[in-house]
Structure 1
Amino acid sequence: MDHGYTVAQIRAAEGAAMAVLGNDVLMQRAAAGLATAVLRRLRDGGAYGARVLLAVGSGNNGGDALFAGARLAGRGVAVSAWRTGSSVHEAGWAAFLAAGGRELDAAGALAQLPRQRLVVDGVAGIGSRPGLEPEVAAFAEACRTHAVPVVAVDLPSGLAPEPPFSDAPHFTAAVTVTFGAYKLCQLLEPARSSCGEVELVEIGLDLPEPTVSRWTIADLAAVWPVPGAGSDKYSRGVVGLDTGSVDYPGAAVLSAAGAVGSGAGMVRYLGPLPVAPRVLDRYPNVVVGQGRVQALVVGSGWGERKDTGVVTRAMTAGVPMVVDADALRHLPPRGGHAAVVLTPHAGELARLLGLQRAAVEADPLAAVRSAVARTGCTVLLKGATQYVATPAENRVWLAVPGPGWSAQAGSGDVLAGACGTLLAAGLAPYEAALGAASVQAVTAAANPGPLPPHALAERMVNVVREILQNSDGA
């Protein structure tokens, strides 16, 4: 599991470490890790004689880059540096020059850029405001234009380290070498894509409880329900689907695809009877009609449904359930409980909170926490980054990230069905939400391309098998 921290948490941890070790020790640890990461990426063409350009600001990030540059020069790398501000880290600059580093001005840095194997971005750190000065912004854009890879020091300069994110100019990194802990921008979209591959260098920080925790495939394997020799369809979990409508029958089929593909012991279809044949034509193992269930999925494809009391009745009964799509409009005021998983996208969450969609997208962490506080339910916010929060915990979890191919109509219906299966199998609500979102993402990553959501759902079984087999062999 990868953990992310706010700027305030990281600054406090750095301050405590500096009080014991001193700033020089932490900087040298960071510089050593940065130099190692750069050398690793120069390996293919050889490090000796390779040209590397440092863009350095006046703060500690610039110092990290300069000390790393001195180490690189000692390995035969041809290192030059552009001082982007009016000052520079003095000890780092002296070490860089003593090692044979060469200074460039702004014009020289632009002129020499096409000849560089890579650029090290040490302009700004977590204490800086988003955005870049025009001259630096032009250089960052030139790196993209000339396709020169950027290795960012701690985070790409100009990028906000935590929400709210903005469209301010910033570097786009192929690699970000971060120190001590992951910053939120390295885990959350849209900022995460600008960080490229993120490499964490330990420098000896004593960290508090994280603000966010991102699941890995190992976390997914650890919670996935595996039947034993004595299992039957009831012990594996029966999930009831009150999904779809005459106007939107596809939602019923897709939610069934998610439930079946994620391994339900039994799927009961409880939606409108005229839709049932569509579900059975695709999944003849689904049972139609009332009966025992361990979890419910409601709302997907309801449309303008008149009978919406199922939400309130199920919540009152305490049945674990997934409330998706149109059913989110019918939540009882403050009548929820943690075993209810709400699965809104940003627009639906904005409506639930009385906000503009842009406000949710700018600070999804705050929005998902507000939704939990308002409803008392577990909340899965769907999107490029998928957030899960629950009343029982202060932190927010992130699902395993997936590719953009899964951003298509119907994916949410599949996700709701899979989440219902995992709830019925007995997983905690936050685990069911994370498990469903993660397995869908991993399946999309394993099957890249424009596959429709029902096709991906049917490939979940292979992905789950591979995940569990690899986990057993680890």
Structure 2
Amino acid sequence: MTAREFSGHDVARALRKPTADDDKYSRGVVGLRTGSARYPGAAVLGVEAAWRTGTGMVRYLGPTRAQDFVLQRRPETVTADGRVQAWVMGSGTDAAQRDAAETAALRGILRGEVPVVVDAGALDLVPGATAPVIATPHARELDRLRASLGLGEAEAGDEDARERAARETAEAFGGVVLSKGAVTIVAAASGWTRRVSAGTPWLATAGTGDVLGGVLGAITAGAVAAGRTGIDDLAACAAAAAWVHGRAGVAASLSRGADGGPIAALDVAEALPPVIAELLADSIA
């Protein structure tokens, strides 16, 4: 059965608009354990995106070089450990270069109760996780994740085949899969499945996945702060993040010309606030 398309109205319901009674903690706190000495930019992009999506606080824990770049760009970022309502890990990292101490720290997060967005260099740690997990692989990463879960290679084919692979993978570890592509597929172990087609081919550029991770972390932290913690709630957060990320990519591209033009990842992050504002005004169909 083909999943239905996730719409702007669906996204608006997944977001949390701040009220006069909110403070930075009640709006949602997202922690990022991303970036590396080799790829510090991934940390900057994810942190920037989390702030631009409207979270109450961003905590960043990572290598000194990446932390320095983060604070240069976003000095409001907190670089001390503490309570968070969602984690993002793995963006800009390589499992082959991860040391034992970092592996232990990541496994500790994945054994907790807080939802974790797992990307790139941390996807190998998904098997055995007990925390609620939203895995965000591209096609090659999905095949590696499936292999680590004892599943066969994903069936090649159309979007229906991708849906089946995403659902099967989500069921295997009991969480949510956001399968990146021109059409993004989001599937939960519960069977909840949606397609997201809000983007532009100009998003196929380095660093945009790091931006998506930050968006998803922020939206998830906001949902948890509002008490929405079920697996279908987390799947809706993933679909909402993909939609917002795609629409921000379109907005950034159209700012280059009527027919769109080249964009860089930071352009997408900077285009997020107007997209969020329009959604919360309930003016997007």
Q: Structure 1-normalised TM-score?
A: 0.52
CA distance in 1, matches of 2:114, 2:11: 24
Match of 2:113 among 318, 327, 334: 318
Match of 1:402 in 2: 199
Contact 1:249 1:278 in 2 (8 A): yes
Matched, 1:341 2:134: yes
- Give, in whole Å, the separation in 1 of the partners of 2:90 and 2:79: 17
Q: Distance in 2 between matches of 1:233 and 1:360?
A: 45
Match of 1:380? 178
Counterpart of 1:103? none
Write the deviation string for residues 257-293 of structure 1: whole angstroms up to 9, x where unpaired: 2211111100011111232110011111111121111
Cα RMSD (Å): 2.0
The answer to which of 298-307 and 351-360 deviates more is 351-360
Aligned ranges 1:166-185 → 2 under 5 Å: none
Counterpart check, 1:468 vs 2:280: yes
With over 3 angstroms needed to count, the CA separation of the structure-2 counterparts of 1:360 and 1:239, relative to structure 1, is farther
1: CA distance, partners of 2:175 / 2:189: 7
2:258 — aligned with what?
none
Q: 1:309 to 1:399 in 2, by over 3 A?
A: farther
Instruction: Note the alpha carbon deviations across 1:143-184, whole angstroms, 9 max, x for none.
Output: xxxxxxxxxxxxxxxxxxxxxxxxxxxxxxxxxxxxxxxxxx
Contact persistence 1:244–1:272 (CA under 8 A): yes
Query: Which residue does 1:164 correspond to in 2?
Result: none
Paired position in structure 2 for 1:418: 215
Alignment check: 8 A CA contact 2:43 2:92 kept: yes
Q: For 2:60 and 2:141, how far apart are their aligned partners in 1?
A: 25
Structure 1 runs of 4+ with >6 Å offset: none
- Alignment TM-score, normalising by the size of structure 2: 0.85
Equivalent position SS for 1:296: strand
How far did residue 471 of structure 1 move? 3.5
Q: 1:442 aligns to what?
A: 247
- Cα distance change on mapping 1:469 and 1:275 into 2, 3 Å: same
1:282 counterpart = 2:87: no
Of the three residues 386, 391, 400, the one matched with 2:189 is 391
Q: Aligned partners of 1:349 and 1:336: how far apart in 2?
A: 19
Alignment of 1:59-458 (within 5 A): 211-303=2-94, 304-306=97-99, 307-333=102-128, 335-337=129-131, 339-354=132-147, 355-356=152-153, 359=156, 363-392=161-190, 394-426=191-223, 427=228, 428-448=233-253, 449-458=261-270
Q: More displaced, 361-370 or 293-302? A: 361-370
- SS, match of residue 397 in structure 1: strand
Distance across 2 between alignment mates of 1:431 and 1:310: 28
Structure 2 contact 86–217 (Cα < 8 Å) conserved: yes
More strand by share: 1
CA distance, structure 2, for counterparts of residue 240 and residue 374 of structure 1: 26
Q: 1:356: how far off? A: 4.8
Deviation at 1:228, TM superposition (A): 0.7
Assess if the C-alpha contact under 8 Å between 2:251 and 2:271 holds in 1.
no
How far residue 421 of structure 1 moved from its aligned partner, in angstroms, is 0.6
Cα distance in 2 for partners of 1:223, 1:471 equals 15
Contact 2:249 2:271 in 1 (8 A): no
Mapped contact 1:377–1:391 kept (Cα < 8 A): yes
- How many residues are matched? 261
Using the alignment, how far apart are the partners of 1:327 and 1:346 within structure 2? 15
Give the Cα separation in 2 of the matches to 1:231 and 1:462: 21
Contact 1:242/1:269 (8 A) holds in 2: yes
Structure number with bigger Rg: 1
Mapped to 2, the partners of 1:224 and 1:331 lie a distance apart of: 26
Measure, in 1, the Cα distance between the counterparts of 2:252 and 2:42: 22
Q: Give the 3-state SS of the residue equivalent to 1:471 in structure 2.
A: coil
Q: Matched residues, percent identical?
A: 41
Equivalent-residue separation in structure 2 for 1:252 and 1:397 (angstroms): 28
Matching residue's letter, 1:228: T
CA distance in 2, matches of 1:346, 1:444: 20
- Residue ranges of structure 2 left out of the alignment (5+ in a row): 254-260
Deviation at 1:309, TM superposition (A): 2.4
Q: Is the 8 A contact 1:217 1:400 kept in 2?
A: no
Alignment deviations for residues 382-410 of structure 1 (CA, whole Å, 9 cap, x no partner): 11111111122x24111242111111111
Secondary structure, counterpart of 1:268 in structure 2: strand
Hey, what's the Cα distance between the residues in 2 that align with 1:324 and 1:288?
Answer: 21
Q: Distance in 2 between matches of 1:443 and 1:272?
A: 29
2:168 and 2:124 map into 1 onto residues whose CA distance is 17
Q: Which moved more, 1:340-349 or 1:400-409?
A: 400-409
Deviation at 1:456, TM superposition (A): 1.2
- Work out the CA distance in 2 between the residues paired with 1:432 and 1:470: 17
Q: CA deviation at 1:443?
A: 1.3
